[in-house]
Chain A
Amino acid sequence: MKEILKGRVWKLGDDIDTDIIIPTQFLALKTVEDMKRYAFYPLRPKLPELINPGDIIVAGKNFGCGSSREQAPEILAALKVGCIIAKSYARIFYRNAFNNGLLLLENDELYDCCNEGDQVSVSLENNRVLLGKKSFRVASIPNDLLQMVEAGGLVPFMRKRNGK
């Protein structure tokens, strides 16, 4: 895992649910590549075109609440979101995100201090997020979970481990 992640901030609010991340009517599309164009469709339909690889989503509380649809973290990983930094996450989404190679970090204050378009950098070694001169602490993520994110999720991680 790269120790420093740098990216532009996209700001979303509280309770961003899985139906917003990927609405039901797009779930039967064949591939994640087809689906990712509809990320956040009910809220900000243009966002998938604007997100560049490495960009960072900053959100409020309870990100990913709602259904267990794994396509939600999968399409964010497919959009190559660098990581998400939210005040808190819903638990099913939390597991699904790491299982799909999407890094989630928690911080209570960043959301209220940053603006959309700001540049932030995340140091995984120091567990800090830098916004200009301000620094915010995030809880450390265990190394084996970081390795799983780096491998692209639980399945590729298991295959690598099992030598398949």
Chain B
Amino acid sequence: MGMTIGEKILARASGKALVKPGEIITAKVDLCMSNDGTTHLNIDIFENQLKAEKVFDPRKVVFIVDHNVPSESAKTAEVHKKMRIFAQKHNIPFYEGTGVCHQIMIEDFIVPGQLIIAADSHTCSYGGLGAFGTGVGCTDFTSVMNTGEIWLMVPETLKFEIEGSFKSGVYARDLILKIIGDIGANGANYKIMEFGGSAMKNFTIDDRVVLCNMAVEAGAKSGLVEPDEIAIEYVTSRGRQDMHIFKSDDDAVYEKTYQYNLDELEPMVARPHCVDDVVGVTQLGEVKIDQGFIGSCNNGRIEELRAAAQILKGKKINPYVKLLISPASKTVYLQALAEGLIDIFVECGGMVLNPNCSVCWGSCQGVIGEGETLISTGTRNFKGRAGHPNSSVYLASAATVAASALTGKITDPRGRI
């Protein structure tokens, strides 16, 4: 019996020739990462409760400040200070204000075949490069930071076979919203979502990350795409050579296989307050918006910014709507500057923010008020996620957000490109 790519990565990490779903393994971790959402708690457990002295390997622990940056209160400034001091003391890589943690990890650390544990639910993003990432809470994280190991159950794998090609105005973002709408917010609970099929060779790394990043919104432990020349080129061009290229065997066992044809896909929107309440933009009816947001670990990369800029170029946004744009990293920001995209955003009336989690997590920037409606490229639309408990969040692609900012209501981007 063959193995899926996810099973192969877990087999390697646990020093076994073969693993099977349901088996509990103790795995060695290639990297672990924590951000300012919870690192203060990790440090407290590490120093005061475990009374640990050393991290397992300073080259394999990364701290990133991205959730409340720049800090909006003395409390969050204190959290950042605690992280900075710990990172200096233990000589571990530390980033502050250079981007959303997952984008930095993808740009600077991830290679195919790794196992990465991080104290953030969207750690599944790294499947875009063929690496197994999964999120944990701060207690599990602290234990990993100290020992370099974690127990994991080998999950079942669901296969998503993608065929066809995207029509103009339709993106990977629409595909993952469609899939979550179909299988539900717990449709992949505890499982791996493996994305493949003949269309995958046309998916850029940005597209693949968009799919894997939101696997957790269907409950998945991880999302994965088999690494190919595109993934290898991405990491080698950034100076990283050591990697393990795993592919699923022909006789690998999947719990279930789903088929999707991109030719039939239209722009999708997730309605408040659940990520799986998804409809095509044409079925939505009229929804007025107060704010648009383009950014986040799901959808703030260069390709999404290009798609938005294409629609916004030379236009003005609705005067009663705010449009906030936060490039996912410093690298993305500089690229957008070089391509003139930032000029387009500022000239159309948008506000360009520093790279960070921003509106997506509703704490330090662009919080919305009572009764207000946000359309966002963020990861979640939970009740109160972006501010007041009685506010609404719709999720859509960067193109749909851009088109909606022009009209003041949720708008089909097709025909505006």
Contacts and interface: CB of A to CB of B under 8 A. Distances in A.
Given A62-B185, A95-B140, A96-B139, A19 B274 contact: no
Interface in A49-100: 61-62, 65-71, 73, 88, 90-92, 95-96, 99-100
Contacts of A99: 137, 139-140
15 contacts: A15-B274, A17-B382, A19-B385, A24-B362, A30-B75, A42-B384, A65-B185, A65-B186, A67-B37, A68-B121, A70-B38, A90-B219, A91-B219, A155-B139, A159-B49
Interface string B156-193: 00000000000000000000000000000110011000
B363 interface: yes
A41 B41 CA distance: 22
Given A30-B75, A164-B51, A25 B362 contact: yes
B383 interface: yes
Given A24-B361, A96-B137, A153-B139, A69 B383 contact: no
B298 interface: no
Contacts of B38: 27, 68-71
Interface in A101-145: none
A25 B363 contact: yes
B389 interface: yes
A25 B121 CA distance: 18
Interface of B: 37-38, 41, 45, 49-51, 68, 73, 75-76, 79, 119-121, 135-140, 142-143, 185-186, 189-190, 216, 219, 221, 274, 361-363, 380, 382-385, 389
A149 interface: no
A153 B142 CA distance: 13
Interface SS of chain B: helix, strand, loop or mixed?
loop
A154 interface: yes
A62 B49 contact: no
A96 B42 CA distance: 13
Interface in A25-56: 25, 27-30, 41-43, 45
